[in-house]
Amino acid sequence: MVRVRFAPSPTGTLHIGGVRTALYNYLLARQTGGQFILRIEDTDQTRFVPGAEEYIIEALRWVGLVPDEGVGFGGEYGPYRQSDRKAIYHQYAMELLERGHAYYAFDTPEELETKRAEIENFTYNCHTRNGLRNSLALSEAEVKALLEQGVPAVIRLKIEPGQRIVIQDLIRGEVQFQSDLLDDKVLLKADGMPTYHLANIVDDHLMKISHVIRGEEWLSSTAHHVLLYRGLGWEDTMPVFAHLPLILKPVGDGKLSKRDGAKFGFPVFPLSWDSEKEEERAMGFREAGFLPEAVVNFLALLGWHPEDEQEIFSMEQLIQAFSLEKINKGGARFDYEKAKWFNQKYIQSTDNKTLAQLMWPYVKAHEYDVCEEYLEQVAALMKERVTFIQDFVGQGQYLFETVATYDMEALSKKWKSSLAPVFERWIAAYEAAQEGTSIEQEEVFKAFVAEQGVKPGEMLPLLRLALAGTMKGPGVFELAATLGKEETLLRLNNFLKFCLTIETA
């Protein structure tokens, strides 16, 4: 049975890389009929951010990665929040102590900091621990006394030298480590909370996790994790590991960071994050006008590739096609242009009704008084030419409010005073004609220009400017049909008036 988990820490917003990790976990679970679990790793009380947990859950829901078990979703292996499992970790820390795989250490963080400053490459390990303040170096009586006095102590993993640790990573193959080079990691902190390493191993074991799919930043510490499984006698049921390549900055060195969002002007989070502090605020893909399906598709292909050359994948198709073996080893640069392309593709293939729904927040923000049916028409008119949801009302502003300004460059090129009477007669002809479809209107127009002896190319740009103010946009008669006869006539008259004013000025 495949059981995978996504285990973020609630220290703020969920990074887009985290969303991809969650996605890969989810895909494997769905593909195999297994479970996808959300575990909250809040063992660092100093970094806890209120609201972060809710943010994570909302973000997962938005992209459609709904957990089967976990914080907010129930399940038989709870609690799923690590701060609620303190006693469990304590118990296993004591067990490791008894088995001789761990020891008490009394060195204060300050002392260790000094050591690191004094001694180059200082590591708390088998070579140095005898010179430090711990239950391996101190006498039994001293240790007992220190513990009884309540001197702050941590529990560290005792790593035996001379061992070779071999990890079979599903993505990277065999990775080896020498135990002599590993440090004696803290397992239980002085505040009684476990570190990631202990909590992670205990929970993965207790929650019967079969596959650990996580970012590459964890590859190094996997050696410690294996040793922990060994020390607890759980090595035979140890999960298999798959370390994902990281998502890198679009330009420059290093992994994608929160700052890059602000720096390059694109989102690096699924949802926006509000904060009183300016520097903590962040834009989300959702608020930037992305469809969740597009974000999922984009993320899926950042580090993974299917058997064939298909690019557009629904979640169902991803579930079918996904495989851990096809995940790349090298880091992938975040490519916002590609993300935009996916969004555009998804908007094009989304039905008008759904698009209309998605437009509402932006329509309301502008207090436009329109009905649902009208928004569906807007969707039909604009979906081939927008990238983001808000482009419908942004780029299509003239569909919601009267034209206030005209593209003067285009106007001066196309307007000739000799056309004024023709334009005037067109208004009359349009008014007299039946209100028809865009095609019927075009027929009327063609007959009109033929009769007047003017080229369509002389009149059409002017009509466009009259209705939209800009040279860009949907077909003139489609626009007119959507706007309606009354509004179209109003705009035509306004335009004529404007042109005549300009002329006399």
Partner RNA sequence: GCCUCGUUCGUCUAGGGGUUAGGACGCAUCCCUUUCACGGAUGAAACACGGGUUCGAUUCCCGUACGGGGUACCA
Taking residues 202 to 231 in sequence order and writing x for each that binds RNA by CB under 7 A, - otherwise, the string is: --------------xxxxxx----------
CB 241 within 8 A of CB 222: yes
CB 456 within 8 A of CB 445: yes
Shortest Å distance, C-beta 12 to RNA: 11
Helices (H), 78-221: 86-98, 109-118, 140-148, 196-206
**Residue selected from 70, 261, 289, 303 as contacting RNA according to rule CB under 7 A:** 303
**Residue 474 CB partners (closer than 8 Å, separation 6+):** 381, 382, 385
**Residue with Cβ nearer RNA (314 or 503):** 314
Question: What part of residues 400-429 is at the interface with RNA (CB under 7 A)?
Answer: none
Shortest Å distance, C-beta 89 to RNA: 11
**Residue selected from 388, 429, 456, 502 as contacting RNA according to rule CB under 7 A:** 456
Taking residues 173 to 202 in sequence order and writing x for each that binds RNA by CB under 7 A, - otherwise, the string is: x-xxxx--x-x--x--xxx-xxxx------
**Residue with Cβ nearer RNA (44 or 424):** 44
**Residue with Cβ nearer RNA (233 or 328):** 328
**Residue with Cβ nearer RNA (180 or 500):** 180
User: Is 502 among the residues that bind RNA (CB under 7 A)?
Assistant: no
User: Is 72 among the residues that bind RNA (CB under 7 A)?
Assistant: no
Count how many Cα atoms sit within 13 Å of the Cα of residue 349 in the half-sphere of its side chain. 11
Q: Measure the CA angle with vertex 21, ends 15 and 24; round to 5°.
A: 145
Shortest Å distance, C-beta 216 to RNA: 5
By the 10 Å C-beta count (0-12 exposed, 13-18 middle, 19+ buried), 260 is classed as buried
CB 92 within 8 A of CB 195: no
**Residue with Cβ nearer RNA (200 or 210):** 200
CB 123 within 8 A of CB 116: no
User: Is 246 among the residues that bind RNA (CB under 7 A)?
Assistant: yes
User: By CB under 7 A, which span of 86-94, 225-233, 295-303, 484-492 interacts with RNA?
Assistant: 295-303
Rounded to 10 degrees, the C-alpha dihedral 253/258/259/261 comes to: 100
**Residue with Cβ nearer RNA (69 or 442):** 442
Shortest Å distance, C-beta 364 to RNA: 25
**Residue selected from 5, 9, 93, 289 as contacting RNA according to rule CB under 7 A:** 9
Shortest Å distance, C-beta 370 to RNA: 21
Question: What part of residues 364-383 is at the interface with RNA (CB under 7 A)?
Answer: none
Of 43, 161, 165, 187, the C-alpha closest to 103 is 187
User: Is 443 among the residues that bind RNA (CB under 7 A)?
Assistant: no
Question: What part of residues 104-143 is at the interface with RNA (CB under 7 A)?
Answer: 107-109, 112, 116, 121, 123-124
Tokens of 497: 């008036």
Shortest Å distance, C-beta 457 to RNA: 3
Q: List, by residue number, the catalytic residues.
A: 258
How many residues sit in the footprint of RNA (CB under 7 A)? 81
**Residue selected from 137, 471, 500, 502 as contacting RNA according to rule CB under 7 A:** 471
User: Is 239 among the residues that bind RNA (CB under 7 A)?
Assistant: no
**Residue selected from 207, 301, 363, 393 as contacting RNA according to rule CB under 7 A:** 301
CA pair distance 220, 48, nearest whole angstrom:
25
DSSP string, 89-130: HHHHHHHHHHTTSEEEE---HHHHHHHHHHSTT---STTTGG
3 forms beta bridges with 35
**Residue selected from 313, 464, 480, 495 as contacting RNA according to rule CB under 7 A:** 464
DSSP string, 366-416: TT----HHHHHHHHHHHTTS-SSTTHHHHTTGGGTS------HHHHHHH--
**Residue selected from 440, 443, 475, 500 as contacting RNA according to rule CB under 7 A:** 475
Question: What part of residues 316-355 is at the interface with RNA (CB under 7 A)?
Answer: 326, 328-333, 335, 337-338, 340-341, 344-345, 348
Tokens of 93: 């820390």
**Residue selected from 5, 12, 38, 41 as contacting RNA according to rule CB under 7 A:** 41
Q: Is the dihedral of CA 256, 4, 53, 82 positive or negative?
A: negative
**Residue with Cβ nearer RNA (79 or 475):** 475
Question: What part of residues 252-281 is at the interface with RNA (CB under 7 A)?
Answer: 253-255
**Residue with Cβ nearer RNA (425 or 472):** 472
CA pair distance 413, 348, nearest whole angstrom:
33
CA pair distance 228, 99, nearest whole angstrom:
12
CA pair distance 450, 28, nearest whole angstrom:
64
CA pair distance 73, 79, nearest whole angstrom:
11
